[in-house]
Structures are given as C-alpha cells and as structure tokens.
Structure 1
Amino acid sequence: MGRSVPKFYYNINRIPYSPHLAQLIVETQNAEDLTGLLDWARNYVKKELPGMELVARKLEQGPPVGAPVEVRIYGNDLENLNTTAAMVAGELKKITGVTDVRHDLGPGVPTIWFKINDAAASRYGVSRADLAQSLYGRTRGLPIGELHVGEDPVPVVIRSSAGENLPVDDLESISVAAPDGRLIPLAQLAGLETVWRPAAIRHWNSRRVVTVSSQLMEGYTFSDILAKLKPRIRAMDLPTDVDMEFGGDAEGSGEANNALLKSLPMGLLLLLAVLLAEFNSFRRMFIILVTVPLAAAGVVPGLLIGAQPFGFMSMLGVIALVGIVVNNAIVLLEVVENRRHQGADVDKALEDAVSRRIRPILLTTATTVAGLLPLGLSSSTLWLPLASAMISGLLASTLLTLVVVPALYRIMFRQGSFRLPSMGKGISRIVISMAVILVGAPLARADRPIRVSLPEAMEMAAARPAVAAAHARTLAAEKTAQAQRRKALWPVISSWASRSWKDRDLAMETPLGAFPVGGQNTTTATVKVSQPIFDPAGLLYSAPAARDEARAESLRAQWIHRQMAAHAGVSCLDILGIDARIKATKAFLKSLTARLDEIRYMVRVGRALEADVLKIQLARDQALQEMGELKRSRDIALLALARAVNHHGPLEPLPVTDLVNRESPSVSESFAKALEKRPDLAALKTAITALEKRRKAVKAGAWPRLDAEAAWVWNEPSSYTENDWCQISFSLTWAPFASGTRRPQAAAMAARVGSLRYDLEEARQGIYLDVTSATVDIENGRDAFRVEERGVVQSRETLRIERARYREGRSTINDLLDAEAQVRKRGTMREIARLRIVRGWIRLWMITGEKELPF
C-alpha cells in the first residue's frame, strides 16, 4: 500500500511513494486461469468500486514499459493537455482489443488560489513575502528553532491554535503587518479563488507530458491498435501547441529493431567476405547462400505449430540461423571440391560428398536441436519464439540442403553450363579489404567527435584561412622579388615589324644630284636583345629590397600561425574549464539528491522540517539551471574550437598535461628570448632594412645606367646596299635631375623608416610587459592551485562535520548547503587554477617565439 511492490521481476517499473496506489500480486495454479481472473477483476471494480482505476496485466517479456499502448502528449497549457488527453482516451476506448484505458493527469485537487492585488499591497508597503509569512504563521507555522529533548530534536514553530485546520472562511480575516505597524486584513490585499489543479505535473525530457495508456486483450498486438488509432488522431482537431509521440511496446520494439538492423549489414558483409576468401568463386558463394532462404522457409511452420508470434525474438532466431545453416553447405562443398581436384567428375564428386557428410550433418543438426529443446519446452514466454524458429528452420534447412545444394552444384558446374567469372587471389583480397573497410566505416562515422590533444589542436590551427592567406601573401612577395632581380640581370628580347605606304617616290637632294631613297612601299622588321650592364638602382637596391620584403612577409606569416595556434590552445582550455564546472555541478547535484532523500526521510520521522526539503529542492533546481547554462556554453565553446582548428566536424579536447610543478623562466631570460626569436620583431627589422634600400634606390636613380643592345634589321626596299644587317650598340643613360621628385620620395621613405622604428620600440616595450604578465599568471596560478588544493581537503572535512552535526540537530540545512557549495567551489577553482597555469605557458610560448611547445 502506498508504493509499488519490491522489484521481483526484471521489467517491472518501481513506483515511488504514492498514497493513492495499491499493488497486488496474484499467483494462479496455471496460466489458463489468468484470463478469467483478469476479466473478473475488471468487472468487479466496474460494479463495486466505480471511483477506482484498475490496471490488470500479466507478467510479460520485453523492455520495461508502462503499458503496451502509450500516447505521450506534450504541451505547456494544462487545460489543452487535459482536453487532448480526454479526446485521445475517448478514441482509444472505441477501438476493439484495448482495455484499462486511462491517462495520468487525473482530475486534480481543489486548491485555494490567492490572487494578490499588487497595487493595493504597494500602497500599504506590503510585499508578497509579507503575505506568505502571515499565511504561514496562521496555518502551517513559522519555524523559530528546535527543542533538544532526548536524541531527536523537535522543531519549534509558531502558529495559530487552529493551525492547518483553520477554516477557509477565516483566511480572509488574517491580518498582515504593514511596515508602520498597522494590521491590514488580507481581504484588502488579495482575493481567494478555488481552482482545480493537478496533484502532480509530469515531465518527459523537461517538457510537460500527459500519457494516455491502455492494456491489450488476448489476441491483439500494439501494431493492430496503433494502425487504427493513428488515423483517428490525425482526424482530430487538436490545439496548436500540443505535440504527440507513441511509446509503450512500439517504442521499445523500434529501439530493439533499430539496434539489430544497424549491426546486420556488418555481419552479412563479413559473411560474404569469408565465403569469397574460402571458395574464390561467386557461384559457390551463391550455392551456399541458397541455404539461408531454405532456413527462413522452415521458420514459418515452426511458429505456426508452436502458436508463437513473429516478433523480435523470432527475428533474432532467423538471424542466428544464417550463421548456422551455411555450415552444412560449406562442409558439403568442401568435400566436392576435394574430390574434383582428385580427378572425379561432378556426379561422382557429389555422390561421394553426400555419402560421406550426411551423417556428420544430421548429427550436428540433432545435437543443436537437442540443445534448443529445453528452451522450446520451457514455460517462459521469452524463449519460445526463438527456439521454435531455430528448431524448425534448422530441420528444414538440413533436409533441403542435402537435396538442393547438390542439385544446384550439378546444374551450375556441368559441362557447358553458364559460368560466372572466377576471381583471382588479388581480386579476392581486394573484396575482403573492401568488406572490412565497409564494416569498419560505421565505427569512424563523421558524426562521432574527434578526440584531440592540446598540441594536436595547436598544430591543426595551421589550416586556418588566416594562416593560408598569410602564406599566399608571402608567395606573392617572393614572386615580386624574383621579378625584380630578373629585371635587373636578365636580358629583354623584343621584336617589331612595320609596313608603310607613300603616295610618291622620295629622293635625297645632294650637291651631286638627287638619289632615290627606298620606294613607295617599305617593309621593316627588327629583332632586338637588350642586356642591362650596370643598373645601380635595380641591381644594388630595388632587387635586394624586394627580397627583404618577401622575408618580412614570411616572418609575419609565422607570427600569424603562432597566434592562431595559441588561440586554438586557449579554446581547448576554455572547454576544459567548462568541463570542470560541469563535473563539479554534477557531483553537487548527486550530493543534493542524496541529501534530499535523507531529509525527506527525516521529515517523515519528525527529525526535520518540510522547509528544509524546499530549500534543498531550490538549491537543486538552481544547480540544474546552472548545468543547462554550462552545457549551452560548452556547445558554443566547441564551435569556437572547431573554427580555431578549421575543422567542420565535432571535436572533443583531451585532458592537458599537468604543469603545476614546472618552474617558469625568469622575466629577463624570457624577454631576451623574445627579442631574439619573435617573428614579428624580425619582420619589423627586415621591413626597415627593405625601406632603407628602397630609399637608396631612389637616390641611385641619378646614377648613369649602361645597357647593351644587339639587333637584326631587315628593310625592303633598302636605301643601303644590303637589305638586312646585324648591329651591336651600347647606351649610357643618365638623368641627374628628375623634375625634383627624388628628394621628396627619399624623404617619404625615411619618414616611413622612422615610423617603423617607433613601432619596433613600442613592440619591445610591450613584449616586456607581456612577458612579465604571463610569468605572473603562471606564478599566481600555481599559488592558487596550492591554496585550492588545501581548500578542497578542508571543505571536504567541513562537509563531513556538518553532515554529522545536522544529523545530530546541531546545525541548520543552510549550513549543510553552504558546506556542499564550498566543496563544489573549491574543486572547480582547483581545476581552473591548473588550467590557468597551462594558459600562462601557452601565452609565454607565443610571446617568446620558442619553437618547442612547453607540454
């Protein structure tokens, strides 16, 4: 009475303390009496106990479910839930084959609802807490302490003489004390309403739920009922905020079948791979697999004879048969192949194989059937479908194998028969490898998170788009430097051709007379090679400056890579910090749940107050809320980590190395390393050198430039004696004055050099500050870890003492909750301090420019 019976059967759900519940176990002489007993109990309750709800059921096999047919209704509005549950229950009762239809919302209990007039309360300066305290003082009482008489403390409360038996009509006359001392009648501050509220509001996955359930009559299954119920539900006019799903046997069967079907393809692929590796032939594999449908054909008669349903256990038996029945065909074909290799023809080989292997096959089948008979003859309802399916399938497959397999082999291997291509050893290995890959593929699905360590995450940061962009800029600068150098050293080959038309013949007037020059139509072609001999601006300064600029860009790319790696490491630490809080919160919730059960027991025996239960429930609700916030924060942190390492799938960081006992270098040592190895500092220095060379290149533009040219010239008609000729020339170019632009250009570059020198000095000063800050972070983290380590030990001891004091009545529930919270806080802060040390080392690694990671 008041709770469920002890759990004597594996799939019986236990029901906690419920005053309205009574559960009976009735044992009959034989199974045939159960149906009549159930009918009698239902009829008796319907006639004699109309207000009672009876759920009569047999002990059944399968997963623990509340009822064979369940419809879960989700929603936020209780009225909509109640209306929908009544509609679904009404439709379910109309379906033949169901009984004991009910839903768990219940009619509810009458509740007094105080509708507070906040405007009136604010005029008198009264808060809702003042109203609640006045109501408690007149009804349940206000706790003021404890009376220690004997071993158990007795709570002391102040209340009216009527207490909880105070008449409802007297509630409005309760006086509420205002801040100025006036007594305000409750009727002036609130109105009383009587409403019906559910005695219990159930939740499923944090959503309000009402479950409509029913039992099944003999000869009906849940699938028969759901097939009729689903169209009726779709035809109903349901509220918009209501969702439904089906539970019961449908949910349990679906989960079991899905788990079975997920692994079935892997088993079949392995079976095919083994058969191909053994016989190296598609035809022989086909003959062996024919035994599988032969076994399946024998399952149906066995289930019909045993009057067993084709359910999950029967399906499990059929799958088990696949691996058993192929053995007979394998044994038979093995002898056939050996006899054929010895020179026998197909008919003689089949005859010898059947005569030699019929006895071992029959004996193996007989022993297997004998082993399954105890299950087939047992009174358990769990194993009968499996045993019936396997026994009948095995007998039918054995007999048919001895007839069908030799016949198929004779048809497929006689002279002139159709031949499937045989496979070489190489092909068979490929098939086996592919089968193993396909079987193992689900184990490496993309939706499973990849576990990465901190160094691996920092290494994966090299794939970030920012790093790739920096490398692309480096490549562009290197190609520009290469072009500048080639321009200063390599020759230029050019060619041109022209065709001109004149309106008359031209002649050259001389003292000796006129001489014709060409003709009216002239064709000219030239091929020229220009080689710079001495280009001071390009060779001495511009090309080296471009090379330095490429080097500076490469150093900037290294610095960006280092920053991205540090960012990936910090993202890992952020997740591990959240995990530490989640772990501590879970432990806190587990402890609160244990404390809640303990306090509830103490309330029942009169050793604690009901208010203590409410305080622990509030603390647990707050912890659950914090757990939800932490999980959502963790999801965001995982997305940040995936972005930091440029990975498009789920990731999970591994625990980091403990660096608590590793000594950090001195500030001066780290500062010296940073000045020597920092890529960004080297990039600034190289950029300054490049600008200096660019400035000198501008000044070198005033120097002479020497070029050599070699050309082949062809004219038609020519005014010379030859139409084509080769020529070599040297040209000296000197531009000492270029419109007065060289000096401003050099001054602008000098100003940019000065700006970069200031940037370099600013970076050096910032590095010293960053090195000092990172070193201090490591030291502070180490000190905090040691302090929190001692704090964990102290808080655990304090919690142990507070638990003992609370059991003895020498402390309050608030003291116990504070001790629980301190244990949680100290454990979390210790782990955060450890991660703070690692975070400081990552920062110091980035600042100093070290190549090796500190862990």
Structure 2
Amino acid sequence: MRDLIQGPPVAAPVEIRLVGPDLDVLRALGDQARALMADLPLVTQVRSGVTGGAPQLRFEIDETAARLLGLNVTDIAAQLQAALVGVTGGSMVEGTDQMPIRVRLTDAVQGEISAMADLPILMPNAAELSAQGLYPAVPLSELARPVVEAAESVITRRNGERVNTVQAYIVPGVLPEEALQSVLASLEAAGFETPAGYRIELGGDSDARSDTIGNLLASVGLIVTLTIATIALTFNSFRLTAVALIVCVLSAGLSMLALAVMQFPFGINAIIGVIGSIGVSINAAIIILTGLKGNARAAMGDTEAMAQVVTGSSRHIISTTITTFGGFLPLILAGGGFWPPFAVAIAGGVLLSAVVSFYFVPPMFALLYARRQKSQDASQTGTLTDAPRPLAAQ
C-alpha cells in the first residue's frame, strides 16, 4: 500500500480525546490510554496533552534575612538569572552572521542542587567589602531554601471543555484508519472505560477526513437535483434520465476500481477525482442517447440503425476520452502522493466509463425507450385501422 500523504493536515494521524471536568481524572485516563497504545506494533510514539508536571527547583527566600543584608527578592533573582541563564558579554562574527557570546556557570553547577544552593550572592556594598579585604558575598543557602516540586501542567480546552488529547504516531506505510481500528480494539480488549461525566472522542486523520468529506458533500443534494433536472429537460424522458444516472453510478464505481488497481488510498484527493470523473464520463452517455433518440429507425429499436448511430458517435467519444486520459497522464507518471490519486480517479473513470457507455447504453435504450416507443406506434396504428368506415351513399 502506498503511503498516505494526502488529505487535510493533522497534528497526529491517530488521536483519542478524553473530555471531562477534572484534570486529575483526565491525566489518569490519558496515562492508561497512552500505555495501551504504546504497546501496539503499528505505533511508534505516543504522547498526551495533560501529563504530570515536570520537576522544577524553586528557592524559598527568607526576606527578613535578605533585608538585614540590604538585599531584596529582585536582587537575588537577578543574580541567579545572570549565573544560571547567563549574561551577553560580546559577540563574534562567523561569515555574514553575528552571534552573541553568553557567559554563565558551567553545567556541572546547574546539575547539582547543592552546588546551586552554594552560589554566591553579592552584597550591595561588595566593592567596599572587597577593598577592606572581606569576602563580598554570602552563599544562597543562607538566604533561601531549595524546594523540588512538580510544575503545573497545561490545561487544554476544546469547545470550552477540558480535554486530554492522546496522540499516536504510526509506522510508515500504514493507513491511519487501520491504526485507529487497532487502537480502538486494544482499548476495548483492555476494558478501558470512562467514568460518568467523561467521554471519548476521535480526532486526528479520522476527524479531519470526516469534516472535509462533510464539507464536500454538503451541496451534493442540490447538485444531484440540478443534474437530474438538466438531463430530464434535455431528453424530455425520465427513462433516458434514469439510464444516464445509472452511468453516473457506474462511472463512480469504475473510478474507485482504477484506484484499487493502482493501489491508491481512497483519500480526499481521490474523492474529488471521483466526483469530477462523473461529470466528464456522463458526456459519452448523453452523446449516444441523443443520437439514438434523434434517429427515427433507432428510436423504434432497429438494431442496425442503432449500431450506425453508436459507430458515428464513437469518433467524438473516443477522441474526448483519449485527450482527457492523455491530459492527466503526466500527473500519474509524475508520482507523489498528492496528484496521482486525483488523476487516476478521473482518467480511469473516463476511460472505463467510455467502454461502459458503448456496451451498456444502447441495450438499455432499446429496453426502456425503443420498446415503449414501438408499442406506442403500434397502438396508434391499430387504432387508425379499426376506426369505423363511413356509410356509402345509397
């Protein structure tokens, strides 16, 4: 199967949304779902939106002791910022780029809590103390107490509700829908359930594809109605309209058959191509039906006349089919994941529907229209023959 690199962009191919009011419950549910999804062979990496906070180091400053030394919280924070994050001390030029040089303490100091607690904090009168030969600083441990705690996790919301999104990334060559079904089966087998007030929603490729298809099909009802009305007004016959609509359905099926033969997934681009192939493919059926209806002998069901009409129409149909197929052939041969499914759906549907039009439309015309037309003419002829003759004058 070819890689699915088409359709709407998504953050992750497979997403499970856990929706509910309490963050702790959402975090626990997300951890459970993440553990189950990570054990699947199709999944390479799993992450969740609401997790336990990362460990962080916080210093509780004794403001009374700091004030006795003439320091305040802002001064201590600024000195820690300069020591740990660094201060820009200059710049260097490399090629055409000018890069700043930042000076800070080594990683050995930043990696040890005891070393950070012993960082020197300069006194406000450090210059005077140095001139007197005194040490102008005190260790941070004299002014603050280190505290290791968990950072607060980010609260994610969707449509005004708290949500924990568990995202799964899959191995190359696997369709997101296949991976999603595997994930749902794993959750069901493990007995994963949400408590009252919480629910599971599907996101990722499945949700994005459903929204896109819904937008595409939103106006299908109006388009189908206008198409039926146009064809009915063209032929002035509901029977011939039904034949043309059957060709539309067959054209869509043949487009999907071409996608299956070429092993392209039925993605968004393929759906657009199938819809486009229907409008192009119906032209062959309209040309043949118009020619058959316009020929008096063919309209009566004369097979020889019908064959002549179809043969005469074949030149226009074949030329249109070849030019359409040839126009999309470069897109098919170019490769990639975006244009080939679209081009295969249209070109394959047009090419195969032309064959269907030649072998399907004439028999259906003879069955639904010509036979009825012939019976009507026979009925009218019989009525004229059986009419009473006027009495001869005596």
CA distance in 2, matches of 1:418, 1:134: 106
What secondary structure sits across from 2:321 in the alignment? helix
Match for 1:88: what amino acid?
A: A
CA distance in 2, matches of 1:250, 1:167: 57
CA distance in 2, matches of 1:60, 1:167: 58
What secondary structure sits across from 1:346 in the alignment? coil
* Residue in 2 that maps onto 1:289: 245
CA distance in 2, matches of 1:344, 1:417: 7
Match for 2:301: what amino acid?
A: V
* Residue in 2 that maps onto 1:80: 25
* Residue in 1 that maps onto 2:201: 245
CA distance in 2, matches of 1:201, 1:273: 53
Rg larger in 1 or in 2?
1
CA distance in 1, matches of 2:275, 2:4: 27
Matched, 1:263 2:219: yes
Matched, 1:216 2:216: no
The change in CA–CA distance for 1:415 and 1:291 in structure 2 (over 3 A counts) is closer
Matched, 1:68 2:13: yes
Q: How far apart are 1:408 and its partner, in Å?
A: 0.8
Q: Deviations over 1:689-741 (max 9, x none)?
A: xxxxxxxxxxxxxxxxxxxxxxxxxxxxxxxxxxxxxxxxxxxxxxxxxxxxx
* Residue in 2 that maps onto 1:842: none
Q: Deviations over 1:198-254 (max 9, x none)?
A: 465544455554432222224422222222333554632545565443221112111
Q: How far apart are 1:328 and its partner, in Å?
A: 0.9
* Residue in 2 that maps onto 1:138: 76
Asked if the contact 1:298–1:393 (Cα under 8 Å) also holds between the matched residues in 2, the reply is yes
CA distance in 2, matches of 1:63, 1:140: 47
CA distance in 1, matches of 2:38, 2:56: 28
CA distance in 2, matches of 1:276, 1:401: 18
What secondary structure sits across from 1:62 in the alignment? coil
Asked if the contact 1:113–1:195 (Cα under 8 Å) also holds between the matched residues in 2, the reply is no
Asked if the contact 1:299–1:318 (Cα under 8 Å) also holds between the matched residues in 2, the reply is yes
Match for 1:196: what amino acid?
A: A
What secondary structure sits across from 1:215 in the alignment? strand
Asked if the contact 2:252–2:274 (Cα under 8 Å) also holds between the matched residues in 1, the reply is yes
CA distance in 2, matches of 1:419, 1:225: 59
* Residue in 2 that maps onto 1:226: 180
CA distance in 2, matches of 1:343, 1:302: 33
> Structure 1: 5+ residue runs without aligned partners?
1-31, 33-57, 116-132, 142-158, 174-191, 421-855
CA distance in 1, matches of 2:157, 2:253: 46
Q: How far apart are 1:266 and its partner, in Å?
A: 1.4
Match for 1:399: what amino acid?
A: V
* Residue in 1 that maps onto 2:110: none
Q: Deviations over 1:530-580 (max 9, x none)?
A: xxxxxxxxxxxxxxxxxxxxxxxxxxxxxxxxxxxxxxxxxxxxxxxxxxx
Q: How far apart are 1:363 and its partner, in Å?
A: 0.4
CA distance in 2, matches of 1:336, 1:246: 52
CA distance in 2, matches of 1:360, 1:61: 35
Q: How far apart are 1:350 and its partner, in Å?
A: 1.6
CA distance in 2, matches of 1:415, 1:245: 56
Q: Deviations over 1:350-383 (max 9, x none)?
A: 2232121011000000000011111111122011
- Bigger relative CO (Cα 8 Å, ≥ 6 apart): 2
CA distance in 1, matches of 2:201, 2:305: 60
Asked if the contact 1:102–1:212 (Cα under 8 Å) also holds between the matched residues in 2, the reply is yes
TM-score of the superposed pair, with normalisation by structure 2: 0.68
CA distance in 2, matches of 1:243, 1:140: 47
Asked if the contact 2:298–2:370 (Cα under 8 Å) also holds between the matched residues in 1, the reply is no
Q: How far apart are 1:87 and its partner, in Å?
A: 0.9
* Residue in 1 that maps onto 2:83: none
* Residue in 1 that maps onto 2:258: 302
What secondary structure sits across from 2:122 in the alignment? coil
Match for 2:192: what amino acid?
A: M
Q: Deviations over 1:279-318 (max 9, x none)?
A: 1211110111121233234224422332211222222222
Match for 1:97: what amino acid?
A: L
* Residue in 2 that maps onto 1:89: 34
* Residue in 1 that maps onto 2:102: none
Matched, 1:275 2:248: no
Match for 1:225: what amino acid?
A: A
The change in CA–CA distance for 1:277 and 1:215 in structure 2 (over 3 A counts) is same
* Residue in 1 that maps onto 2:88: none
CA distance in 2, matches of 1:254, 1:419: 50
Alignment of 1:661-680 (within 5 A): none
Matched, 1:346 2:304: no
Q: Deviations over 1:311-335 (max 9, x none)?
A: 2222222211221111111111112
Aligned pairs, how many? 313
* Residue in 2 that maps onto 1:385: 341
What secondary structure sits across from 1:380 in the alignment? coil
Match for 1:401: what amino acid?
A: S
CA distance in 1, matches of 2:139, 2:40: 47
Q: How far apart are 1:171 and its partner, in Å?
A: 4.6
* Residue in 1 that maps onto 2:149: 195
Asked if the contact 1:294–1:396 (Cα under 8 Å) also holds between the matched residues in 2, the reply is no
Match for 1:346: what amino acid?
A: G
CA distance in 1, matches of 2:195, 2:139: 39
The change in CA–CA distance for 1:343 and 1:64 in structure 2 (over 3 A counts) is closer
CA distance in 1, matches of 2:175, 2:123: 56
Asked if the contact 1:313–1:386 (Cα under 8 Å) also holds between the matched residues in 2, the reply is yes
Alignment of 1:433-472 (within 5 A): none
Asked if the contact 1:112–1:195 (Cα under 8 Å) also holds between the matched residues in 2, the reply is yes
Asked if the contact 1:108–1:196 (Cα under 8 Å) also holds between the matched residues in 2, the reply is yes
Q: 1:109 aligns with which of 30, 55, 66?
A: 55
Asked if the contact 1:76–1:208 (Cα under 8 Å) also holds between the matched residues in 2, the reply is yes
